[in-house]
Protein backbone atom coordinates (compact mmCIF):
# COMPACT_ATOMS: atom_id res chain seq x y z
CA UNK A 1 0.00 0.00 0.00
CA UNK A 2 1.34 3.42 -0.93
CA UNK A 3 2.29 5.96 1.70
CA UNK A 4 -0.58 8.12 0.52
CA UNK A 5 -3.08 5.33 1.15
CA UNK A 6 -1.83 4.85 4.72
CA UNK A 7 -2.06 8.52 5.76
CA UNK A 8 -5.44 8.56 7.54
CA UNK A 9 -4.89 5.12 9.06
CA UNK A 10 -1.53 6.26 10.46
CA UNK A 11 -3.16 9.34 11.97
CA UNK A 12 -6.04 7.27 13.35
CA UNK A 13 -3.61 4.85 15.00
CA UNK A 14 -1.66 7.70 16.57
CA UNK A 15 -4.77 9.36 18.02
CA UNK A 16 -6.23 6.01 19.10
CA UNK A 17 -3.06 5.02 20.95
CA UNK A 18 -3.06 8.39 22.70
CA UNK A 19 -6.70 7.85 23.70
CA UNK A 20 -5.93 4.35 25.04
CA UNK A 21 -3.11 5.77 27.17
CA UNK A 22 -5.08 8.79 28.41
CA UNK A 23 -5.82 8.53 32.16
CA UNK A 24 -9.30 10.07 31.83
CA UNK A 25 -10.67 8.05 28.91
CA UNK A 26 -12.37 4.92 30.26
CA UNK A 27 -13.39 3.29 26.97
CA UNK A 28 -11.37 4.57 23.98
CA UNK A 29 -12.88 1.90 21.71
CA UNK A 30 -16.43 3.27 22.16
CA UNK A 31 -17.82 4.68 18.93
CA UNK A 32 -21.20 5.81 17.72
CA UNK A 33 -22.42 3.63 14.85
CA UNK A 34 -25.04 5.18 12.56
CA UNK A 35 -27.04 3.10 10.10
CA UNK A 36 -29.94 4.03 7.86
CA UNK A 37 -32.87 1.96 6.65
CA UNK A 38 -35.87 3.20 4.69
CA UNK A 39 -34.63 6.81 5.13
CA UNK A 40 -34.73 6.47 8.92
CA UNK A 41 -31.34 6.88 10.65
CA UNK A 42 -30.47 4.91 13.77
CA UNK A 43 -27.48 5.37 16.07
CA UNK A 44 -25.97 3.47 19.00
CA UNK A 45 -22.61 2.98 20.74
CA UNK A 46 -20.56 -0.11 19.84
CA UNK A 47 -16.93 -1.05 20.51
CA UNK A 48 -14.13 -1.06 17.97
CA UNK A 49 -12.55 -4.53 17.99
CA UNK A 50 -10.00 -4.24 15.18
CA UNK A 51 -8.67 -1.70 12.72
CA UNK A 52 -6.12 -1.68 9.94
CA UNK A 53 -5.85 -0.33 6.41
CA UNK A 54 -8.85 -2.48 5.41
CA UNK A 55 -11.21 -0.67 7.79
CA UNK A 56 -12.81 -0.65 11.24
CA UNK A 57 -14.39 -3.78 12.76
CA UNK A 58 -17.18 -4.34 15.30
CA UNK A 59 -19.18 -7.48 16.12
CA UNK A 60 -22.89 -8.08 16.54
CA UNK A 61 -25.83 -10.40 16.06
CA UNK A 62 -26.81 -10.27 12.38
CA UNK A 63 -30.47 -10.53 13.45
CA UNK A 64 -30.22 -7.41 15.66
CA UNK A 65 -31.61 -4.10 14.51
CA UNK A 66 -28.21 -2.87 13.31
CA UNK A 67 -27.49 -6.21 11.66
CA UNK A 68 -30.75 -6.11 9.71
CA UNK A 69 -30.26 -2.45 8.77
CA UNK A 70 -26.74 -3.12 7.50
CA UNK A 71 -27.93 -6.14 5.51
CA UNK A 72 -30.50 -3.91 3.80
CA UNK A 73 -28.21 -0.88 3.40
CA UNK A 74 -24.50 -1.77 3.72
CA UNK A 75 -23.28 1.72 4.53
CA UNK A 76 -22.46 3.21 7.93
CA UNK A 77 -20.88 6.09 9.80
CA UNK A 78 -18.73 5.90 12.92
CA UNK A 79 -17.83 8.66 15.37
CA UNK A 80 -15.22 8.59 18.11
CA UNK A 81 -15.31 11.44 20.61
CA UNK A 82 -12.57 11.66 23.20
CA UNK A 83 -13.63 14.66 25.28
CA UNK A 84 -10.53 14.83 27.53
CA UNK A 85 -8.36 15.08 24.39
CA UNK A 86 -10.81 17.44 22.67
CA UNK A 87 -10.75 15.23 19.60
CA UNK A 88 -13.31 13.62 17.33
CA UNK A 89 -12.93 11.26 14.38
CA UNK A 90 -15.75 10.69 11.89
CA UNK A 91 -15.64 7.75 9.48
CA UNK A 92 -18.07 7.04 6.62
CA UNK A 93 -18.09 4.15 4.19
CA UNK A 94 -19.40 0.89 2.92
CA UNK A 95 -19.74 -2.21 5.07
CA UNK A 96 -18.77 -5.84 4.55
CA UNK A 97 -18.87 -8.92 6.76
CA UNK A 98 -15.56 -10.08 8.19
CA UNK A 99 -14.28 -13.54 7.28
CA UNK A 100 -15.36 -16.58 9.29
CA UNK A 101 -11.74 -17.00 10.38
CA UNK A 102 -11.64 -13.48 11.84
CA UNK A 103 -15.03 -13.89 13.50
CA UNK A 104 -14.14 -17.28 15.01
CA UNK A 105 -10.84 -15.96 16.40
CA UNK A 106 -12.49 -12.95 18.01
CA UNK A 107 -15.42 -14.99 19.36
CA UNK A 108 -13.05 -17.43 21.08
CA UNK A 109 -11.25 -14.51 22.75
CA UNK A 110 -14.45 -13.45 24.54
CA UNK A 111 -15.30 -14.59 28.08
CA UNK A 112 -17.31 -17.84 28.15
CA UNK A 113 -20.32 -16.02 29.64
CA UNK A 114 -20.34 -13.57 26.71
CA UNK A 115 -20.21 -16.46 24.25
CA UNK A 116 -23.18 -18.10 26.02
CA UNK A 117 -24.98 -14.74 25.87
CA UNK A 118 -24.53 -14.60 22.09
CA UNK A 119 -26.54 -17.82 21.83
CA UNK A 120 -29.15 -16.86 24.43
CA UNK A 121 -29.94 -13.32 23.27
CA UNK A 122 -32.49 -12.68 20.53
CA UNK A 123 -30.90 -9.25 20.27
CA UNK A 124 -33.19 -6.26 19.64
CA UNK A 125 -36.36 -8.37 19.67
CA UNK A 126 -39.11 -8.04 22.29
CA UNK A 127 -38.47 -9.69 25.68
CA UNK A 128 -41.58 -10.59 27.69
CA UNK A 129 -39.70 -10.61 31.01
CA UNK A 130 -36.08 -10.84 32.19
CA UNK A 131 -36.55 -14.45 33.33
CA UNK A 132 -37.07 -15.46 29.69
CA UNK A 133 -33.48 -14.33 29.00
CA UNK A 134 -32.01 -15.87 32.16
CA UNK A 135 -33.77 -19.15 31.31
CA UNK A 136 -32.16 -19.09 27.86
CA UNK A 137 -28.76 -18.43 29.45
CA UNK A 138 -29.28 -21.43 31.74
CA UNK A 139 -30.34 -23.59 28.77
CA UNK A 140 -27.23 -22.77 26.72
CA UNK A 141 -24.96 -23.03 29.76
CA UNK A 142 -26.21 -26.60 30.24
CA UNK A 143 -26.01 -27.39 26.51
CA UNK A 144 -22.34 -26.40 26.32
CA UNK A 145 -21.27 -27.69 29.73
CA UNK A 146 -17.79 -29.18 29.45
CA UNK A 147 -17.50 -28.10 25.80
CA UNK A 148 -16.18 -25.15 23.85
CA UNK A 149 -18.87 -22.62 23.00
CA UNK A 150 -18.84 -22.26 19.19
CA UNK A 151 -19.72 -19.04 17.40
CA UNK A 152 -23.44 -18.91 16.52
CA UNK A 153 -24.12 -18.74 12.78
CA UNK A 154 -26.02 -15.45 13.28
CA UNK A 155 -23.14 -13.73 15.11
CA UNK A 156 -20.16 -12.17 13.36
CA UNK A 157 -18.48 -8.90 12.52
CA UNK A 158 -18.81 -6.01 10.13
CA UNK A 159 -15.96 -3.99 8.68
CA UNK A 160 -16.61 -0.36 7.78
CA UNK A 161 -14.47 0.40 4.71
CA UNK A 162 -14.06 4.16 4.75
CA UNK A 163 -14.29 6.52 1.82
CA UNK A 164 -14.18 9.58 4.12
CA UNK A 165 -12.37 10.15 7.42
CA UNK A 166 -12.43 13.45 9.31
CA UNK A 167 -10.11 14.41 12.14
CA UNK A 168 -11.43 17.21 14.37
CA UNK A 169 -9.34 18.94 17.01
CA UNK A 170 -10.98 21.46 19.31
CA UNK A 171 -9.44 24.95 19.30
CA UNK A 172 -10.42 27.77 21.64
CA UNK A 173 -13.29 30.07 20.56
CA UNK A 174 -14.65 27.31 18.25
CA UNK A 175 -11.82 27.88 15.76
CA UNK A 176 -11.38 24.13 15.40
CA UNK A 177 -8.97 22.28 13.11
CA UNK A 178 -10.72 19.93 10.68
CA UNK A 179 -8.85 17.67 8.26
CA UNK A 180 -10.79 15.47 5.86
CA UNK A 181 -9.42 12.54 3.89
CA UNK A 182 -11.54 11.42 0.94
CA UNK A 183 -10.92 8.61 -1.55
CA UNK A 184 -10.56 10.03 -5.05
CA UNK A 185 -9.36 7.77 -7.88
CA UNK A 186 -8.29 5.13 -5.33
CA UNK A 187 -6.08 7.60 -3.44
CA UNK A 188 -6.67 9.50 -0.22
CA UNK A 189 -6.89 13.25 -0.78
CA UNK A 190 -6.54 15.50 2.27
CA UNK A 191 -8.54 18.72 2.56
CA UNK A 192 -8.86 21.29 5.30
CA UNK A 193 -12.41 22.49 5.97
CA UNK A 194 -13.79 25.41 7.92
CA UNK A 195 -14.85 24.73 11.52
In a domain, 142, yes or no: no
pLDDT of residue 174: 87
In a domain, 112, yes or no: no
**Average pLDDT, rounded, for the chain:** 95
According to DSSP, the β-strands at 155-169 and 87-97 are: antiparallel
Confidence band for 1, pLDDT divided at 50, 70 and 90: very low
The pLDDT tens digits for 68-81 are 999 999 999 999 99
The pLDDT tens digits for 6-47 are 799 999 999 999 999 999 999 999 999 999 999 999 999 999
pLDDT of residue 4: 58
| pLDDT of 48 higher than 70 | yes
Instruction: Give percent of the chain above pLDDT 90.
Output: 96
pLDDT of residue 6: 72
In a domain, 165, yes or no: yes
Confidence band for 3, pLDDT divided at 50, 70 and 90: low
In a domain, 115, yes or no: no
The pLDDT tens digits for 52-72 are 999 999 999 999 999 999 999
| pLDDT of 2 higher than 70 | no
Q: Which residue is catalytic, options 143, 164, 174, 178? A: 174
In a domain, 100, yes or no: yes
Instruction: Give percent of the chain above pLDDT 70.
Output: 97
In a domain, 124, yes or no: no
CA distances (Å), origin 174, targets 24, 86, 166, 177, 194: 23, 11, 17, 9, 11
The residue range of the domain holding 88 is 3-107+154-192
pLDDT of residue 194: 97
174 is catalytic: yes
Burial 88-125 (b: 16+ CB within 10 A, else e): bbbbbbebebbeeebbeebbeebeeeebbbbbbbebee
In a domain, 139, yes or no: no
- Spatial separation of the C-alpha atoms in residues 114 and 140, rounded to whole Å: 11
Whether the CB-CB separation of 10 and 4 falls below 8 Å is answered with no
For the chain, the domain total comes to 1
Whether the CB-CB separation of 159 and 56 falls below 8 Å is answered with yes
Domain of 159, CATH number, reads 2.30.110.10
What's the mean pLDDT in 80-84? Answer: 98
Answer positive or negative: Cα dihedral of 141, 142, 148, 154.
negative
In a domain, 131, yes or no: no
pLDDT of residue 137: 97
Amino acid sequence: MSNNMQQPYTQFTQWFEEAKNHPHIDEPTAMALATCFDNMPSCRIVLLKAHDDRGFVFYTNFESRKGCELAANPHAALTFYWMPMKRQIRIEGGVEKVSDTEADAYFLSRPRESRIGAWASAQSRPLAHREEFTDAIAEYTARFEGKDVPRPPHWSGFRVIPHRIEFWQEVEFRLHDREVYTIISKEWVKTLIYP
